[in-house]
Chains A and B, each alone.
Chain A
Amino acid sequence: MNWFTRIFHKMGSPPFFYRGAKVWVSWLYVIGFVSLIVGTVWGLAFAPADRLQGDSFRIIYLHVPTAHLSQLIYIAIAVAGFVYLVWRMKMADVFIVSAVWLGAWLTAFALFSGIVWGIPTWGTGWVWDARTTSVLVQLFLFLGLIALRTAIPNSQRGALAVAVLAIVGVINIPIIKYSVDWFTTLHQPASIQIGNPVSIDPSMLWPLLVNTIGLYALAAGVILYYMRINVLRRERNSEWVRDIVDSN
């Protein structure tokens, strides 16, 4: 446990983080880009077409990773909000500020790709089912976080407000899923079943896995990069930032 707490404290130290994260960003970018290229080419050109959906199913290689990742980023933001509330750790707030834009864009892309995929597959771009509704609300919550953080420039108050909103929102999302499930059983017959294929052939699964790894790595790299920028911006008056600016 000792090494863990030591790393935990060191990560909280801005100069250590700024210097240490640089290598990580480069590696994550390389892994991310290589996997994304390999996975996408594999998925587009070499994976077999789906028996029922034909080639339109290839959108899965972007849709599923972005949808999962956007949800993961929202949960991570809420966890960081909790960490900030309890320990007032500044790096948690830096993470939230750095991740929130990427999360919003990923959510928007997941919605967009889902709509485009839905038109040929289910004959409709949009269905108010539990998953689509919760992802849409997740986008609204991301936009709310961004708007709130921009509206309160004071860093302590803004950080606390964003942390509270993120936590309240993350509790809200499963409740939305349940309530939509209950609500839609009245309105929609079960003819349209939105969901992943239950059993998927390994030849189709591998590109999905590679793309998922690539997207996660690249997103981690981008978030870390933004965290470095934000750390630099916040510590602009300290000695170590001057050294970095001078040496650059």
Chain B
Amino acid sequence: MNAFVIAFNRTFRIGWRHPLDSLNPMAFFIIVTSLISITFEGGSLATGDGLAIAVLWVVLLLSTMMASGGAYAQDYEDGSLEQVIAQNQSLYVSVHGSVAARWFLCAVPIVALVPLGAWMLNIDTEVWWILFITLIPGSIVFTLFGVLGATLTLGVGRNGVLLALLVLPLYVPVLLLGVGACQRSANQEPFEFALIGILAIAMGAITFLPFAIAALLRVSQEY
């Protein structure tokens, strides 16, 4: 538990000192949502909530990916990652703490903007609660895969496009289940399966992905 707290505090404090890393993706989210809203004739999505929900999910996915894609980059460059790896007996637990902090820094602020985005895209307020219920586990998965992508590309300069290429295909199941759940809820249809599916994927990702991230961090010091 100690390693978790140490890593959480560390990551959170560093993130706190670089607020733009969190604010830029938020601005990106707002800008893209408004661009889409403008182009759909002043925000009147004629096809109903289905398309607007899909748009909102994709924009959120991109923003979260951008935000979490910077994980460990700072630590890698200033060499403190080496110390973290050398000190920590249980890197797995430490990765958990770091990812949790990363989620608070990168995903939670964007999820908090979802009501604004939903309002801009004219999504029925009755759907908002299901948006939140699916987006909370969904954003955890997005963050985990984003951090995985970030550790895969550590030390690769200008890794934005590469990160997207690696990570976006992995987002497909959660995206489909999440958008499907919200759309079905908007149509008053059953959506429990998707909710269970997202939760199951989130549990699996929380359990197994930190192993992969830790393994990648261990070799990141080799040149």
Q: Do chains A and B touch in the complex (CB under 8 A)?
A: yes
Partner of B169, one of A172, A179, A182: A172
Partner of A160, one of B179, B197, B219: B219
A137–B176 Cα distance when bound, in Å, is: 13
| Residues B220 and A179 in contact, CB atoms below 8 Å apart | no
A234–B196 Cα distance when bound, in Å, is: 47
Q: How far is the CB of B208 from chain A (nearest CB, A)?
A: 8
| Residues B220 and A175 in contact, CB atoms below 8 Å apart | no
Q: How far is the CB of A214 from chain B (nearest CB, A)?
A: 30
Q: How far is the CB of A148 from chain B (nearest CB, A)?
A: 6
A147–B223 Cα distance when bound, in Å, is: 18
Q: A175 with B201: in contact, given A140-B168, A164-B216, A183-B180 (CB under 8 Å)?
A: yes
| Residues A175 and B173 in contact, CB atoms below 8 Å apart | yes
| Residues A157 and B189 in contact, CB atoms below 8 Å apart | no
Does B31 count as interface, using CB distance less than 8 angstroms? no
Does B222 count as interface, using CB distance less than 8 angstroms? yes
Partner of A172, one of B170, B184, B216: B170
Does B193 count as interface, using CB distance less than 8 angstroms? yes
Does A176 count as interface, using CB distance less than 8 angstroms? yes
Q: A168 with B148: in contact, given A157-B222, A186-B184 (CB under 8 Å)?
A: yes
- Inter-chain contacts of A157 with B (CB < 8 A): 219-220, 222-223
| Residues A182 and B194 in contact, CB atoms below 8 Å apart | yes
Does A169 count as interface, using CB distance less than 8 angstroms? yes
Residue from the set B155, B176, B177 with the largest chain A CB neighbour count within 10 Å: B176
A167–B170 Cα distance when bound, in Å, is: 11
Give the interface SS of chain B, mostly helix, strand, loop or mixed: helix
Give the interface SS of chain A, mostly helix, strand, loop or mixed: helix
Partner of A143, one of B165, B173, B189: B165
- Inter-chain contacts of A85 with B (CB < 8 A): 215
Does B20 count as interface, using CB distance less than 8 angstroms? no
Q: Which of A45-75 contact B (CB under 8 A)?
A: none
| Residues A164 and B184 in contact, CB atoms below 8 Å apart | no
Residue of B nearest to A155 (CB): B222
Q: A140 with B169: in contact, given A179-B177, A182-B194 (CB under 8 Å)?
A: yes
Q: How far is the CB of B117 from chain A (nearest CB, A)?
A: 22
A186–B220 Cα distance when bound, in Å, is: 44
| Residues B152 and A164 in contact, CB atoms below 8 Å apart | yes
Q: A182 with B219: in contact, given A147-B165, A165-B152 (CB under 8 Å)?
A: no
11 more A-B residue pairs beyond the given contacts A164-B152, A165-B166, with a C-beta to C-beta distance below 8 A = A137-B172, A147-B162, A148-B152, A148-B153, A151-B156, A157-B222, A160-B216, A161-B216, A179-B172, A179-B180, A179-B194
Q: Which residues of B contact A (CB under 8 A)?
A: 148, 152-153, 155-156, 159, 162, 165-166, 168-170, 172-173, 176-177, 179-180, 183-184, 189, 193-194, 197, 201, 209, 212, 215-216, 219-220, 222-223
